[in-house]
Amino acid sequence: MPIRTARDAVTAAAMYLRWLGYTEVVQPEGRPASGIDLRGAGVLAQVDPSTRPSPLRSVECLWLSGLAESAQCVFFSLAGYSAEGRGGADRLGVPLFVLDLAGCPQPVNAAADELIATGP
């Protein structure tokens, strides 16, 4: 699914999570203050459609939300991740993906590779 809008990015991430095996992945009508764009059985995901690399703070906030809800958290970004964001995700075990404009997620770290290999 080509990405033209922020909503397209969220939809592409939802489709990918379903493909990985997460069930009942839903998108809230509007973007909640928590930044969580997708929820499903055992998973939370954030999608950053901005043109700047996703920072450490965003990764940490997603990780804390996942911890509070006992859910796997997954981060998708269009512009990639800052060095601090990627390092923090590696330490916390947060799978990171980059979405290309064709809507294809590409794994960025070992946690993402492991998620692809093992699924939920």
Dihedral angle sign, alpha carbons of residues 101, 58, 52, 86:
negative
Give me 55's structure tokens.
């920072």
Residues 45-51, mean pLDDT to the nearest whole number? 92
Interval 91-115: pLDDT, tens:
999 999 999 989 899 999 999 999 9
Q: What is the pLDDT of residue 34?
A: 58
Q: Are 103 and 3 in contact (CB under 8 A)?
A: yes
- Asked if 25 and 38 count as a contact pair (C-beta separation under 8 A), the reply is yes
Q: Which overall architecture, per CATH, does domain 6-118 show?
A: 3-Layer(aba) Sandwich (3.40)
Instruction: Please check the confidence at residue 32 and state whether its pLDDT lies above 80.
Output: no
- % of the chain beyond a pLDDT of 70: 95
What is the structure's pLDDT at 35?
A: 65
What is the DSSP pairing of strand 38-40 with strand 43-48?
Answer: antiparallel
**CA pseudo-torsion sign 17, 88, 60, 5:** negative
Which comes out higher in pLDDT, residue 1 or 39? 39
| pTM for the model | 0.93
